Amino acid sequence: MIVVDDVSHRLGERLALDGVTVRFAEHRVGVIGANGSGKSTFARLLNGLVVPDSGRVTVDGLSTAREGREVRRKVGFVFTDPDAQIVMPTVGEDVAFGLRRSGLPKAEITLRVTDVLGRFGLDGFEDRPAHLLSGGEKQLLALCTVLVTEPAMLVCDEPTTLLDLRNARMIGALLAGLPQRLVLITHDLAMLADFDRVLVFDEGRLVVDDVPSHAVASYRELMG
Amino acid sequence: MTPAGLYHPGTTMLHRLPAGVKLAGLAAGITVVLLLDRRWLPAAGGGIGILYAAARIPPRLALAQVRPLLWFAVFLLVLQALLTDWQRAVSVVLTLVLGVALAGLVTLTTRVSAMLDVVEALLGPLGRFGVRPDRVGLVLALAVRGVPVIAGIAGTVRDAHRARGSTVAPWAVLVPVVVRVLRHADSLGDALAARGVDDER
């Protein structure tokens, strides 16, 4: 269960989130809103990347402010720009990077890396320079780097925004098939059709919390 | 193509040697090149060429390791020739090129993660003085990763200038490149925090 309780947060002078309260435990939750509506700040609350100025956030009972380390082990985060998530020069090393401090034997790390790359269509990519991958492959790599640590939940902040239609659909289908709980921040409203619940943000406030069809209709109305 | 200074996959003996052995060999090799009589430098160059061939590094990639030195090497050659004599100038430049070629061979045949393991093991004893070997390793990894990132950003900025019909003066490119590199650093910091790097205390 994610509990966001009366959370407000400022980014400089701007009130990014204004008294947001919501609880959810559904498998697929979508978050939509205009640029600057607070949805990315909301996403960052969920794995403790942002600690709110006021209010509290808990993930399965863990406080993101006091138990950030445990929360981040539980909640993986995928950013919009996959380039900014690549740390190591080759694909295999980048996926293994998240397990360097896990205490797992090297053979087990190699096995997990090979397995996750295989599941996402990147088998045989271990030695490829990560920066030479296509946009879609880079986002797949970003997903692998997060999923190799086996988080219970995944927060994706506009993971398809920089991708072409084919890659966006491919990433969307992969996300939909994940066993992990998923919180997806997106502008691609079609991706949310099968979701359990959709939250709509506007000017830092949670203005709609409903099933996808109603939430998307409200959002369209809100945007004029 | 693998850019200069990045791992080139392979299964040769040089690829399979432990990273620690290769780094020790690099230190020894550079020392030998520095101490070598100038008459033996061409032979040392031949030896390094054989090592590149043994590691099955394509000639173009081998040249890419020393190409960035070109203008500096020309400058050094002229300076040394003016200050000393041309034989001395050639040997100084050759020593520099051979040292860089050796270092290039090690980075081409060694995964960065393997080098990090060595660096972290070597710095381990400094942990009691507050040094974080994993952080030093991470900084080194990010430095290697930074090479293609900054090259890519510079390329994009140059293209943007060209697309608007501007002539590309270095100073005009510098500011947007620095701004974008700083932005990238911010995003990378967020990504590292999200991956729990800050939690490893």
Distance CA B95, CA A120 (A): 47
Question: How many structural domains is chain B composed of?
Answer: 2
What's the rounded Cα separation, in Å, for the pair A163 and A136? 6
* Stretch 54-73 of chain B: residues touching chain A, C-beta under 8 Å: none
- Is residue B176 domain-shared with residue B90, that is, in the same domain? no
Query: B3 falls in which pLDDT band (50, 70, 90)?
Result: low
CB contact under 8 A, A127 and B7: yes
User: Which string of DSSP letters, residue by residue, matches B120-172?
Assistant: HHHHGGGGGGT--HHHHHHHHHHHHHHHHHHHHHHHHHHHHHHHTT----HHH
Q: Looking at the complex, does the CB of residue B141 fall below 8 Å from at least one CB of chain A?
A: yes
Average the pLDDT over B139-143 and give the result. 83
**pLDDT number for residue A166:** 82
Residues B19 and B100 reside in one and the same domain: yes
Whether residue B177 lies inside any domain: the answer is: yes
pLDDT at B1 over 50: no
> How does the average pLDDT of chain B come out, rounded?
86
pLDDT value of residue B168: 64
Q: Could you tell me if A49 and A77 are in contact, meaning their C-beta atoms sit under 8 angstroms apart?
A: yes
Domain boundary among B77, B110, B143: B110
User: Do residues B28 and B105 share a domain?
Assistant: yes
Is residue B190 within 8 angstroms of chain A, CB to CB? Answer: yes
CATH code, domain with A47: 3.40.50.300
Measured between alpha carbons, how far is B50 from B67 in angstroms, rounded to an integer? Answer: 19
Q: How far apart are CA A83 and CA B145, in angstroms?
A: 11
Residue B120 belongs to some domain of the structure: no
Q: How far is A144 from chain B (nearest CA, A)?
A: 12
Please state, rounded to an integer, the average pLDDT across all residues of chain A: 91
Give the tens place of pLDDT for each residue, A180-212: 999 999 999 999 999 999 999 999 999 999 999
pLDDT digits (tens, 9 = 90+) for B49-96: 999 999 999 999 999 888 888 889 999 999 999 998 888 999 999 999
Q: Count CB neighbours of A72 within 10 A.
A: 25
B145 CB within 8 Å of a chain A CB: yes
CA distance B189 to chain A (A): 9
Is residue B138 one of the residues assigned to a domain? yes
pLDDT at A86 over 90: no
* Same-domain pairing of B26 and B93: yes
Q: Is B45 left (phi over 0), alpha (psi -120 to 50) or beta?
A: alpha
Is the ipTM value over 0.85, yes or no?
A: no
Lowest mean per-residue pLDDT among A142-146, A153-157, B66-70, B169-173:
B169-173
Residues B101 and B133 in one domain: no
Q: Is A219 at the interface with chain B, CB within 8 A?
A: no
Number of domains in chain A: 1
Cβ of B191 under 8 Å from any chain A Cβ?
Answer: yes
Contact A79 B142 (CB under 8 A): no
Give B152's contacts in chain A (Cβ within 8 Å).
83, 131
For B34-59, the pLDDT digits (tens) are 998 888 999 999 999 999 999 999 99
The closest CB to that of A89, out of B7, B190, B200, belongs to B7
B51 shares its domain with B82? yes
Q: pLDDT tens-digit profile of A29-66? A: 999 999 999 999 999 999 898 999 999 999 999 999 99
**Average of per-residue pLDDT across A131-135:** 86
B50, B80, B110 - which closes a domain:
B110
Domain limit, last residue, from B66, B82, B110: B110
Q: Looking at the predicted structure, is the pLDDT value of residue B145 above 80?
A: no
Residue A98: per-residue pLDDT: 84
- Domain span at residue A195 reads 2-223
Mean pLDDT of B128-141: 84
Domain around B195 = 128-199
B157 and B84 within one domain:
no
Same domain, B26 and B97: yes
Do B90 and B177 lie in a common domain?
no
Least confident interval from A65-69, A185-189, B139-143: B139-143
The Cα A95–Cα A145 span in angstroms is: 4
In a domain, B115, yes or no: no
Q: How far is A71 from chain B (nearest CA, A)?
A: 9
Q: What is the pLDDT of residue B199?
A: 65
Checking if the pLDDT of B5 tops 60, the result is no
Residue A163 pLDDT > 60, yes or no?
A: yes
